Every structure is written in structure tokens, then in C-alpha cells.
Amino acid sequence: MDEQSPSSRKSNEIEHKVYARVGLLGNPSDVYYGRTISFSLANFWATVKLQPSHHLIITPHPTHDLVQFSGLDHLVNRLQSEGYYGGVRLLMSICKVFYNYCNENNIVLSKENFTLSYDTNIPRQTGLSGSSAIVCAALNCLLDFYKVRHLVKVEIRPDLILSAEKELGIIAGLQDRVAQVYGGLVYMDFNKDHMEKLGHGVYTPMDISLLPPLQLIYAENPSDSGKVHSTVRKRWLDGDEFIVSSMVEVADLALQGQTAILEKDYSKLADLMNRNFDLRRIMFGDDALGSLNIEMVEVARRVGAASKFTGSGGAVVVFCPDGPSQVKVLEDACKEAGFVIQPVKVVPSYLNEDDLITLSG
């Protein structure tokens, strides 16, 4: 039984919100020692709450971790639409990774316990990093509960989040976790020398006001983003010349994109976004990308807009160079195609003073 009163527990509650992320340029080269530009998307988010408690409790979500059904048809339909996994496993995994990291780095944790719960409105399987948002929010809660935020470098936190997901077999790269740890707009260099020397990439925050107005398109019943990297990864590891050279070009798009954004050269940015998707399509092939995902890109291109995946599929980020009139045409096209479209809202960086003092340099 919990030893604290409800009012006392509420006053000690820690809550963190972490937003979805959009890969603007360079993805998926983060998995291949490349470069990317990503930003935090204010349209969707995950929250994790931590309350001190007598026992350590991971609270299942009433919707996402459903274990009671009206019948077999309900259970089967649920599994077909939502899959087998909710967020409980994510919370457990980051607790394990956090504990082990602190032990290995002589960071002493108090013997207090807690109850973790979560909520999210990030659409599933849209390539908007819903799983890592939950993990990142939970890590923030743990850092504050144990008062060790100043002892865990900001640059290391994305690796901890990715490690927790790898424990669960989730295929991913670092860019999503960097964007969600830092917030805002971030240019990332995952150069192999940097990664091996520093244990992480080199991450450069950028001013979000430099971005032009962007749109988000997503499908309400998208494909699974976790299966897209597989064959390309193997070919890259095997030294396939085409894949290796193409991935270098994808990484270079982010480098060019950093300059284009700083100079507000939005025509160049549009070209880079389109080229990013074209290269992905050539490398992965239409069967791997899925017809629905390709159609989301094409519906934007047919009205003259630039578009690419936000991640591995399920959603696309769009730039309409001709402004509001073009956006209206795109909205009509999306409605006819059955896609959801929203204006992109970008979150500023949310690193606090304790975070900033841990940054290298």
C-alpha cells in the first residue's frame, strides 16, 4: 500500500511531454554514418507521469495496453489495427537501460520507488517516432526523480533511448531520439570518426524561424515503418557500391539543406526534399515503401509541391513553394485521396539550464 496521501503524491508528481519528430532531410542516412536535419512536431506528443510510490509500478494504458475485450472478434480486430504491443514494454526497457547506465558510470541512485504512466496522441505507424517519444519522456522523468539530470550528458541521452528500443527489437537510428531530446530544429552529423571518438554524433541546433511553412500528410491506416530498412542495411554492410554511394548522397542533402535553410533558399530546399525521396525510392524499391506511402508523396507532387517521408513511411512532410493557394489545392487533393493534412507546428528547443551545462564544448 502506498505510504503517501493522494494530495502529497500529486504535489510530487513529475510529468514530461515529448513531441513527435519530422525528418526533414538526410534520412535514413543516420543509420549509415550520415547527416540529417529533423525537428520536433508540436501537432502530436506523448506524456509520461511519475509519482513516488511504495512499490515500483508500471501502469498499463487503458487504451494502448488493452487486456479486456468484448469477445474474440474484438481482440482480433484490435490486434490487426494496433498490433500486440503498447507502451508498458517501452517504460520497462528505459528503466532497465537507465539503471544499468547509472551503475556503469558510478551514478548513485536513491532507493525510492515510483509509479510510471503514459499517454500519447501520436498516430501509430506514421513514421513520427511515437515509441521514442514515450521512451524519451520517461527518461526525463527518471532524470528528474533521481536528480541526476546534470550527470547524464544531453548528447548521450539519444543513445540511451535507442538502446531501450533496441532491447525490444525496434529498428531505428539516432536522428529521431536527438530531435526529441533537444527539441526544435537540429542538424546532425553522424560521421563515423565522430561517433567512434565521442560516442555520439555532433548535433547543431538551428533557429526554427528559418523554416518555411510546411504541411504534414498522413494516412490513418498506414504501413509498418519498422520493416523498411532491412534489405538495404544488409546490402550496405556487404559493401554494395550503389547503396553505399547513394547513402552518401542522401547524407550530403542534409549538408546542402543546412546552407539552404540558413540562407532561406527555399527553392533549393524543395529540390533537396524531392531528391531525398527519389533516392530512398531507388534504394528501397516500391514494394518495400508501399503503394499508400508513395501515393502520399505523389499527391503532393501532382500539385507542384515538394514532399518526402517524415521517417520510414506513414506520413510525409510537404513544402508548397507557391504559398497558401497551393496549400488549398493540396488540401482538396488530400481530402479526395482520403489523407489527413495539417499545417506543421514546430516546437522550439526545450533544453533547460541543467541540460545545457552537460553539453560538450
With a pLDDT cut of 70, the percent of the chain lying above it is 93
Average pLDDT, integer, range 208-213: 98
pLDDT for the residue numbered 20: 96
pLDDT for the residue numbered 83: 72
More confident residue, 182 or 228: 182
Q: Record the pTM.
A: 0.89
Residue pLDDT, tens place only, 144-183: 999 999 999 999 999 999 999 989 888 788 999 999 999 9
With a pLDDT cut of 90, the percent of the chain lying above it is 72
pLDDT for the residue numbered 310: 95
Using DSSP bridges, classify how beta strands 57-58 and 113-120 pair: parallel, antiparallel or unpaired: parallel
Verify cis geometry, omega within 30 degrees of 0, for the bond prior to 222: no
Give the C-alpha separation, 122 to 95, whole Å. 22
Mean pLDDT score of the chain: 90
226 pLDDT higher than 60: no
Cβ atoms 215, 343 nearer than 8 A: yes
Average pLDDT, integer, range 89-95: 95
Residue pLDDT, tens place only, 288-332: 898 999 999 999 999 999 999 999 889 999 999 999 999 999 999
7 pLDDT higher than 60: no
More confident residue, 190 or 69: 190
Q: How confident is the model at residue 62 (pLDDT cuts 50, 70, 90)?
A: confident
pLDDT for the residue numbered 10: 59
State the DSSP H helix or E strand holding residue 317, giving kind and residue range, or none if neither. Answer: strand 315-319
Residue pLDDT, tens place only, 17-40: 999 999 999 999 999 999 999 999
Cβ atoms 42, 189 nearer than 8 A: no
Average pLDDT, integer, range 94-105: 97
Q: Spell out a b/e string for 169-180, using b for 16 or more CB atoms within 10 Å of the CB, else e.
A: ebebbbbbbbbb
Q: How confident is the model at residue 1 (pLDDT cuts 50, 70, 90)?
A: very low
pLDDT for the residue numbered 2: 42
pLDDT for the residue numbered 230: 61
Q: Spell out a b/e string for 185-220, using b for 16 or more CB atoms within 10 Å of the CB, else e.
A: bbbbbbeeeebeeeebbbbeebeeeebeebbbbbbe
pLDDT for the residue numbered 143: 97
228 pLDDT higher than 50: no
Average pLDDT, integer, range 71-80: 84
Give the type of residue at 330: L
Cβ atoms 23, 36 nearer than 8 A: yes
Average pLDDT, integer, range 95-101: 97
Which string of DSSP letters, residue by residue, matches 20-57?
A: EEEEEESTTGGGGT-EEEEEEEEEEEEEEEEEEESS-E
From edge to edge, which strands make up the β-sheet containing 315-319?
306-309, 315-319, 215-218, 340-343
pLDDT for the residue numbered 184: 96
360 pLDDT higher than 80: no
Q: How confident is the model at residue 67 (pLDDT cuts 50, 70, 90)?
A: confident
pLDDT for the residue numbered 244: 95
> Catalytic residue at 176?
yes
Instruction: Kindly list the distances between the CA atom of residue 132 and the CA atoms of 24, 77, 241, in Å, as whole numbers in the listed order.
Output: 17, 25, 32
Give the distance, in angstroms, between the CA of residue 90 and the centroid of all CA atoms in the same chain.
14
Give the type of residue at 176: D
From the list 159, 176, 189, 355, the catalytic residue is: 176
Q: How confident is the model at residue 11 (pLDDT cuts 50, 70, 90)?
A: low
